[in-house]
Structure formats: structure tokens, C-alpha cells
Structure 1
Amino acid sequence: MIRWRRRQFNSSWTPAQYARFLALLERRFGEPNQFRLSETPIFLPAALVGRMARYGCEMVEQLLANPEYQRASREAIPERYRVPREDPTPLFVQADFGLDENLEPKLVEIQGFPSLYAYQPVLADAYREAFAIDSGLSALPDGLTDATYSAGLREAIVGKHDPETVVLLEIDPWNQKTRHDFTATEQLLGVRAVDVRAVERRGRGLYYDRDGRPTPIRRIYNRVIVDELERRRMAIPFDYRDDMDVEWAGHPNWFFRLSKFSLPYLDHPAAPEARFLHEAGAAARHPEDYVLKPLYSFAGLGVVVGPSAEQIREIPEEQRPNYLLQKRVNFRPVVETPFGPTKIEVRIMYLWQDRLRPVNTILRMGRGAQMGVDHNKAMEWVGASAAFLDPGGDDDLPVPGQL
């Protein structure tokens, strides 16, 4: 996106560098990566990332200051997943942005749930080493260093506990595509991934097997996606509604409260119009101008760009409150690649400790209708990536097709 850096990178790129990049990660995690990684990192103006980060903060603060939203989002939590002692603010926040035709950031989604906090620094380091990225470019926003980032992540996930009594709770963790983040979390913090079905309930406490001994769980780094529990009809050894003697690093209620459900309540220049499907009115008569999204799916499951009227009619009336229509934005391809201009999606990753602070980014590249893997099959120079922030870069982005 910064012309001279993109030109320099593309002209010096070799397949051997990319192979080394992948080999570095395979050596770190003991197996190939489980999702496609782009052949290139993204060079972003620090000011642009700062603007996106500010927009995300403004949106979250707007939602939390809205009494109607506070009431409605609490009521939206399914009764069987209402966890006691909810934190007043979400510990983890993700805000995803694309760039529209005028190169303005526009929100794609917002989520009160963790992302790849431990994996992303490893990914950036591999890009830096394999491609000899300028040491003056940081992969972290807001003046963070590797040390301050790790310290903040430790405070958020481990808190004041012994890491042995903290678990990363997930469904079938070692068969998830994101499992390298779980490995990186253990390497960085000493916190192990545990299958939600493997914990043991004893009174108000939860335990897990650690090297053959029952170990109490004092704090849970929650990575369980309820949508997956429901789809797989899984039985688990505790009830989310019970008041258990455990802390949550990422309280589960915020998965529902800060989510696609939030989008219709936003009034912000960077937030496209969104309406619940059962309240869509005129929008439902012109669905091709919108994106149809189920409220609580993850990783793009069930999202339809420009749905047909027939696809709308097929959704039963009683299920329509669980969908929304979001105004379609034509995101502009801004990264020049050997295969043509490519779109990006920028995820701003936040931690809310003393304040809501941007701490990292995740980048995705694509030339398909959506950024997901299924929409970019058999393509190169697409997939997950990392950002390097140029404090001297500007927002004067290249016109597609020009370097």
C-alpha cells in the first residue's frame, strides 16, 4: 500500500524466500500451517491503522453508552449460555475493516471474543526473518514493543494466577485450524489448551488432567465458540449458567453481546447500514445491495454476499431475528501483486485493561467475493498475513494497476 515499499518487495521476492518463511513456521510448530498464508506481508501507514483503531474504540464506546443496546444485547444471550458475574466491559475486542472505493475504512464486523494473540507475533517474526523486513517497521501499533505486548497479554490471560491453573478452553483443540495459536500461547504463557469435554466438575470447581494429576482451574481463557457446540450437539461436563468458582479471561457473554448483533445499533461514518432481517423493510426488497449474515456464526459461515430474494424467503420467519442485512460495500483492491490488485481486510485486535487499547493486527488478502478460504481457492498471494507499520507512510494509496 506504500508504493515504494511494495515495488521494492515485489521486485526482490523469490519462491525460495516464501519457502523459507513457511519452513520457519513449520519448525516452530512441528507441522505445516493449517490455513493459507500469503506470499507477502502488508506495509501499512501507521496513521491509517491508527484511524481504524480509533474508529473501533469509538464504536465500542458508543454501544456501551447506549441503554437500549445494553438491554437488548443482554436479552439476546441465549438463556442456556448466560454466564453469571459478567465483566462490565469485554476483555478482548476485534474490529475488522476494509477500504471502500474512496479508500475510507469501513467496518466489516466487530466481536467481543479473542483472536490469534499469541500466533500473530510469531507470524510477523517469520515474515521479518525470511524477507529481511526493515527493522525500523514495527508489527505492533500504539507504540507497543514485544515486551510490553507480552506483558499485557499475560496480564489479560493469566492474571495473578499460576499458569498451571489457567487453561485455554476449546472444542477439540488439536483438530482446530487455529491450533498453532494454542501452541504459541503455551510457549509464551505456560497456559495449555484443554478440550471443554475433558474438564471435570467438582462442586463449584473445575479440574483438568495435567501430566496425570487433577489440577484446579482458576481462570479460563475462553475460546469455545457456541455456534460450534450447537452444530455438533456436544454435551459438556458443566452448565454455563452455574455460578462456578472460576474467572473468565474473556467472559462468554460478550461473544453474544458484542457481535454481529451490535451492527444495527451503530451510528458511525465507518459503519455501513445494518438491519435485523425481521426489521429490514425496504432492504429486504433489494437484497442484492446487502450482505446476509447469521448473527453468531464464525469464520464467515453462512454469509451470503448479495443474496437473492429467494434466499431471503427460504429463511423461516421465526429464524429471521437471528440474521441481519448489512449494506454491501465494494472494497477496493489496494495491494499490487503478480496476479493483479488484491483486497485486504484489517483486523484491529484490542485488549481492555485500564482502557480499550489496540495491541496487534491480523491481515487477510483476497481477490474473491469474500476473504474466506473457500472464496480464494487455487489463488496465490492471498490468505492470512501480517502488517508492518510505517510511521512515515501516508494514506496516498496506489491506484489499482499502478505501482
Structure 2
Amino acid sequence: MIPALRQKYNQQFTEENYKNFITELEKDYFEIPFRVAETPVFVPKALKEKLIAAGEEIINLIKQPNFKELTQKSIPKDWNVPNENEQPHFLTFDFGICKNEAGELTPMLIEMQGFPSLYAFQIHLSNTFRKCFEIDNSVNHFLNGFNEDKYIKLFKEVIIGKHQPHEVALMDVDAPNQKTAIDFFVTKKMLGIKILALEDIKKIGNQLFYEEDGKQIQLKRIYNRLIFDEVADNTEIFKNSFDPRNELDIEWVTHPNWFYRISKYTMPFLNSEFVPDTRFLNQIEIIPTDLENYVLKPLFSFAGMGVIIDVKQADIENIPDPENWILQRKVSYEPAVQSPDGGVKAEIRMMYLWPDGGEPQLCTNLSRLSKGKMIGVRYNADFDWVGGTVGFMED
């Protein structure tokens, strides 16, 4: 998107360079099971400023005194976890890069989460791009005045809090074998915390423990990467560990309820030039006649599952629970990233950390490139110059 930097990068690129880059990225870790794109995204200052402004508008909604009241129905009754805190620790906003009526690149909100993303891996990825390719110093993967030292200090504050690293663990169902496990292991290296599968944690009274060298060590804080949607049909797994919905003497980073509060459910409450028209399906009195311009999304799903792209009237009529769906106006991605064989669509995730008692701080970003119908990995399996990457943004 910054023509001079794009031209320079594409001229230096070779398949051998890319293979060396992947080797370096995986060194000290393991083979990454998701596709990493051949290139970063070079984001011009004007687009960066729009991304920042769009994020601030969303945060203004989240910080409203009535936000919890607005989003209370977002939390499924079966998955409401007690002892919710007053704020999420993470905010991630996904923007498709489009063109506005003036022909300028502009962000349009696609998805939002009060849930962690690849907060450690993105730093490793960015450093590896710089190590393996010539990336100009006029662009930066950090935002808001952050550098690596300042970022790691805040990351530690958010994850570990007032505790010792051995009292904090990153937790998922089968953490070492998740697709994003590379982020877990970079986090461990960066912060010194444990990585635990759900079954590694045992409940004694209302406290949680893990075993190390024959000793029971109490957990004080969990860096939660478990998405309840993934285990909704298999709650038996809690019997060998603990049920997060019980009263527990534990601090959550971030509390599981925020996964629901800040999600697709939040989008109908936003009115912005950076947010496509989004409405709860059960609140639509007259179905639009131009359904080809809309997408139908289930509120409670992840990774694009269940999304209906080519909406028909019958699709809407056949939905038994319209209160759990949104109808959203489609956005038209601009193929703004030039690959050797044409334009590629981009999505940029703005990533915030929100320390206890502090303010949300924009720190870094993630980008995804696509030639498919949707951004996700499963829609781009047969293409190159697609996949996960990072935005280097003009200072």
C-alpha cells in the first residue's frame, strides 16, 4: 500500500528467501500449522490514522457506563462465569481494507473480540521479517509509541499481574496441540509462565492446582485461551479438571464473559463510517430486497463457521433462533496489496492491552491476506501470498 516499499520488497523477494524466513520463524519451536504469508503489509499513514480513529470509536462504546447492560443478553445462560471483572484485558478489532466513495483506502469493521490473539507471536513474526528481509525503518509493527521493551513490560503486567510467573498459566483444552500453539510457546519464552492443558489443572476446594516435580502448586491467575464454543458439546472434559462456571478462587485474564460481550453481538450498537450496517435478525421488520449485498452471521461461532455469504430469503426464514444471528451489509475488500501476480485483499487486526485499573492501549497489529471468498485459512488453501502476517505502519 506504500508503493515505494512494496516495489522494493517485491524486487528482493525470492522463494528461497521465503523458505529461509519460515525456517527462521520455526527455529527453536516447531512447524507452524497455519500459513504465514510471503509478505508483510505496508500501511500508509492516512490509513493508519483511520484505523486508530475507528478503534477509538469502538472503545468509546465499550467504556460507556451501560455497556454491560447493553450486552448482558450476549452471554449464554449455560456459560455465564461468576466473578466477572469490570473490564476485558484484550481488545482486538478486525478491519477489512476497502475503498470509500472518494477512492481512498478505508477500514471497515468485520469482527471484534474481547479475547486474546497472537500477542506474543506477532512480535516474533515482525522481528523475523526484519531479520530475513530489508524492512525500512520508516515503518513499524508497534503503535502508540511502543517498542519491544515497553510492550513486554505491559504484556507482563496484564498477564501476570501482582503474582509470580509460576502462579500463572496459559490454559486451553489441549494447549500444546492447538493450531496457535506457536503463540503459546513464544508467550512462555517471553513471560516465563506455564502452558497447561485443561486436564493438567485440578480443583481442591475452590482453588486450582497443577503438579510439578511431585508438588502441588496453586494457580492464582489463568491466561485463558479456552473458547467455550469449542467444548459446548463435550462438557464431560470438565470432570477430569474443573468447570470454569463454578465459584473459584482464581483471577481470569481475560474473564470468559468478555468473549461474548465484545463480539459480533456488539456491532449493531455501533454507528460509524467504519462499521457496515449491522442488525440483529430478530429486530428486522422488513427483510432487504437486495440480500445479495448482505451476509448472515451466527453470533455464537468462531473462525467464520456458520457464516452464510450468499443469503437467500429461505435462509432467513429457516433460522429457528433469529435472536442469535446478525444480518450485516457486505463490504467490498480492495485488492490493495500487490503480489507478483496481482492484487491481494487484506484485513488488519488492531490489538490492545488493557491492564487492571488502567486504560486500553493500542500496541501492535496482525494482518491476514486473502485471494479467496473469505479471509480465513480454509478459504485460501490453494493460493500463495496469502495467510497470516503483520502490518508495518508508516510513522
For 2:182, give the aligned amino acid.
H
What is the CA-CA distance between 1:185 and the residue it aligns to? 0.8
- The corresponding residue for 2:128 is 126
- The corresponding residue for 1:175 is 177
Q: Which runs of 5+ in 1 are unaligned?
A: 392-403
| Cα pair 1:57 1:356 within 8 Å, conserved | no
C-alpha distance in structure 1 between counterparts of 2:146 and 2:285, whole Å: 45
SS state of the match for residue 282, structure 1?
A: coil
| Cα pair 2:48 2:394 within 8 Å, conserved | no
Partner residue of 1:299 out of 300, 303, 313:
303
C-alpha distance in structure 2 between counterparts of 1:226 and 1:125, whole Å: 33
SS state of the match for residue 342, structure 1?
A: strand
Number of residue pairs the alignment of both structures matches: 387
SS state of the match for residue 170, structure 2?
A: strand
TM-score, normalised via structure 2 length: 0.93
- The corresponding residue for 1:208 is 210
What is the CA-CA distance between 1:376 and the residue it aligns to? 1.2
Partner residue of 1:220 out of 217, 222, 236:
222
The alpha-carbon distance between structure 1 residues 341 and 348, as it changes in their structure 2 partners (threshold 3 A), is same
Partner residue of 2:86 out of 85, 88, 109:
88
- Give CA deviations for 1:232-287 in whole Å, capped at 9, x if unaligned: 44431333333311111111110111111101111122111111122233346543
| Cα pair 1:140 1:359 within 8 Å, conserved | yes
SS state of the match for residue 343, structure 2?
A: coil
For 2:248, give the aligned amino acid.
M
Q: Quick check: 1:361 aligned with 2:359?
A: no
What is the CA-CA distance between 1:84 and the residue it aligns to? 2.4
Cα RMSD of the aligned pairs, angstroms, is: 1.7
- The corresponding residue for 1:322 is 324
Partner residue of 1:254 out of 258, 262, 267:
258
C-alpha distance in structure 1 between counterparts of 2:187 and 2:62, whole Å: 30
Residue identity (%) = 37
C-alpha distance in structure 1 between counterparts of 2:194 and 2:88, whole Å: 22
C-alpha distance in structure 2 between counterparts of 1:284 and 1:196, whole Å: 45
| Cα pair 1:92 1:114 within 8 Å, conserved | yes
- Give CA deviations for 1:176-199 in whole Å, capped at 9, x if unaligned: 110000000110111122112331
What is the CA-CA distance between 1:291 and the residue it aligns to? 1.3
C-alpha distance in structure 2 between counterparts of 1:246 and 1:157, whole Å: 13
What is the CA-CA distance between 1:61 and the residue it aligns to? 1.7
| Cα pair 1:149 1:359 within 8 Å, conserved | yes
- The corresponding residue for 1:290 is 294
C-alpha distance in structure 2 between counterparts of 1:207 and 1:71, whole Å: 34
- Give CA deviations for 1:300-321 in whole Å, capped at 9, x if unaligned: 11122232223333322xx221
- The corresponding residue for 1:26 is 26
| Cα pair 1:63 1:265 within 8 Å, conserved | no
What is the CA-CA distance between 1:293 and the residue it aligns to? 1.1
C-alpha distance in structure 2 between counterparts of 1:4 and 1:211, whole Å: 56
| Cα pair 2:81 2:256 within 8 Å, conserved | yes
What is the CA-CA distance between 1:379 and the residue it aligns to? 0.4
Q: Quick check: 1:60 aligned with 2:59?
A: yes
| Cα pair 1:208 1:214 within 8 Å, conserved | yes
The alpha-carbon distance between structure 1 residues 4 and 278, as it changes in their structure 2 partners (threshold 3 A), is same
Q: Quick check: 1:386 aligned with 2:382?
A: no
- Give CA deviations for 1:195-245 in whole Å, capped at 9, x if unaligned: 123311111100112344321110011111011011444431333333311
What is the CA-CA distance between 1:32 and the residue it aligns to? 1.6
C-alpha distance in structure 1 between counterparts of 2:138 and 2:330, whole Å: 37
What is the CA-CA distance between 1:45 and the residue it aligns to? 2.1
| Cα pair 1:52 1:105 within 8 Å, conserved | yes
The alpha-carbon distance between structure 1 residues 231 and 330, as it changes in their structure 2 partners (threshold 3 A), is farther
TM-score, normalised via structure 1 length: 0.92
- The corresponding residue for 2:77 is 79
Q: Which runs of 5+ in 2 are unaligned?
A: none
The alpha-carbon distance between structure 1 residues 172 and 308, as it changes in their structure 2 partners (threshold 3 A), is same
C-alpha distance in structure 2 between counterparts of 1:209 and 1:291, whole Å: 47
